[in-house]
Amino acid sequence: MKQSILHQKHLQAHAKISDIHGWQLPQQFSDLSDEYSAVRTAVGLFDLSFIGKIAIQGKDALSLLQTVFTRNLSKLPEGNVQYSLACNETGGILDEGLLFHISDNRYFFTSNAMNTDKMTQWLQKHATGSVEITNRTKDFFQIGLQGPRSIQIIEALASPPFKKMKPRSVRKIHLAEIPLLISRTGFTGEHGYELFIAPEYAEAIWDILLNAGKNLGILPCGYAARDILRLEMGYRLYGNDITEEYTPFEAGLGSFVDFQKDFIGKDALFKKSTEGVQQKLVGFELLDKGIPKAGNSIFSENHEIGIVTSGGQSPSARKCIGFGYVATRYAQPGQEIEIEVKDREIAAKIVDLPFYRKK
């Protein structure tokens, strides 16, 4: 199992450690509801060292990215970030993540932990001309600073004075004299930032951020809080809600496919878009007590129509919510279904996404 640079620091903080996608990660530091509330109302700090970082650079870098990813990256200006999908020849989703355009001919992609080696090899396989692909996960420590008060911490530590960033932008700055890359991105739906730092500064910046936010309600947060935050926002999790078995059109991600350019899997996906799909990913909420788990069956009128991929208790809605794939004919909001929970069938209904909306 891989460990974060901060693993010993997390143990000293009495974090609950879990094995997730080949990494030993902090599942919780404190009460889950407290960590969740910190991100929604104040600020939470996340160790994101498990997320893969793949550098793509050279004069033919853009040509490679256009071939591998489904979106038109020629429209991505320097200093900006774009959510993108990579598919195989049959349209199945190889990976999804953020593509950063750092400077002319320099990009990097944040890959899901389980896919980093696979995506590095996939990019290398399809590279032609002058382009270099490097797995640089060990070269950058990644931190998430998420929540409405996150900007106050950045403003207090930045030099020169911090200029507000647009969503999905990236730039180089110094925080407490530590050089780093900062992006206005995140997986929580809140105003927040992700920081990319040289590993030797990891422990220092973690402590600096916690100290700077102690009067703002900051809490270190684990994977469990991140999971329910993203679920409420309707964000898919690779390995659960999306895999190579599903195409973007089944996963509700068809808007991230651009048929105006050529890319791997285009023909298969165009066929899916015109002929339609047999199943779709939906969001649902339970109408009675019970927490849905990945792998639970979904029923309608005593017929099994699908399977749960993610589930949990939503603190904001005070209901149990989840994702699942169902036969397309049952995928409309308002459709009544039943969810298998511990050998019981709990009444539920399909709802519009996201589950959580800011007031």
- pLDDT score recorded for residue 297: 98
Residues 226 and 282 in one domain: no
Q: Which of 275, 293, 325 is the last residue of a domain?
A: 275
In a domain, 356, yes or no: no
Q: Contact at 8 Å (CB) between 29 and 220?
A: yes
Segment 296-308 shows an average pLDDT of: 97
d(CA 316, CA 327) in angstroms, rounded, equals 29
pLDDT in tens, 71-98: 999 989 999 999 999 999 999 999 999 9
Residues 295 and 150 in one domain: no
Give whole-number Cα distances, 307 to 99, 204, 243, 301, 335, in Å. Answer: 31, 44, 14, 15, 15
Residues 177 and 322 in one domain: no
Residues 293 and 262 in one domain: no
In a domain, 214, yes or no: yes
Residues 114 and 190 in one domain: yes
In a domain, 196, yes or no: yes
pLDDT in tens, 218-250: 999 999 999 999 999 999 999 999 999 999 999
Q: Confidence class of residue 359 from pLDDT cuts 50, 70 and 90?
A: confident
In a domain, 44, yes or no: yes
Q: Which of 232, 251, 275 is the last residue of a domain?
A: 275
pLDDT in tens, 120-150: 999 999 999 999 999 999 999 999 999 999 9
pLDDT in tens, 190-218: 999 999 999 999 999 999 999 999 999 99
* Counted domains in the chain: 2
Segment 311-335 shows an average pLDDT of: 97
Q: What is the CATH number of the domain that holds 310?
A: 2.40.30.110
Which residue range forms the structural domain that includes residue 263?
1-275
Q: What is the DSSP secondary-structure string of 284-342?
A: EEESSS----TT-EEEETTEEEEEEEEEEEETTTTEEEEEEEEEGGG-STT-EEEEEET
d(CA 92, CA 101) in angstroms, rounded, equals 25
Structure-token pair, residue 289? 């007590």
Residues 293 and 323 in one domain: yes
In a domain, 359, yes or no: no
Spatial CA neighbour of 316 closest among 4, 30, 37 = 37
Whether 189 has a pLDDT exceeding 90, the answer reads: yes
In a domain, 291, yes or no: yes
Residues 99 and 212 in one domain: yes
Residues 300 and 325 in one domain: yes
In a domain, 358, yes or no: no
Residues 126 and 152 in one domain: yes
Task: Give the SS3 label for residue 100.
Answer: strand
- pLDDT score recorded for residue 358: 82
Percent of the chain topping pLDDT 90: 97
pLDDT in tens, 25-56: 999 999 999 999 999 999 999 999 999 999 99
- pLDDT score recorded for residue 37: 98
- pLDDT score recorded for residue 343: 87
Residues 254 and 284 in one domain: no
Q: Which of 275, 303, 324 is the last residue of a domain?
A: 275
Whether 21 has a pLDDT exceeding 90, the answer reads: no
Residues 83 and 205 in one domain: yes
Residues 49 and 77 in one domain: yes
Q: What is the DSSP secondary-structure string of 168-207?
A: TBEEEEEETTEEEEEES--SSSSSEEEEEE-GGGHHHHHH
pLDDT in tens, 245-269: 999 999 999 999 999 999 999 999 9
Q: What is the CATH number of the domain that holds 168?
A: 3.30.1360.120
Whether 183 has a pLDDT exceeding 80, the answer reads: yes
In a domain, 357, yes or no: no
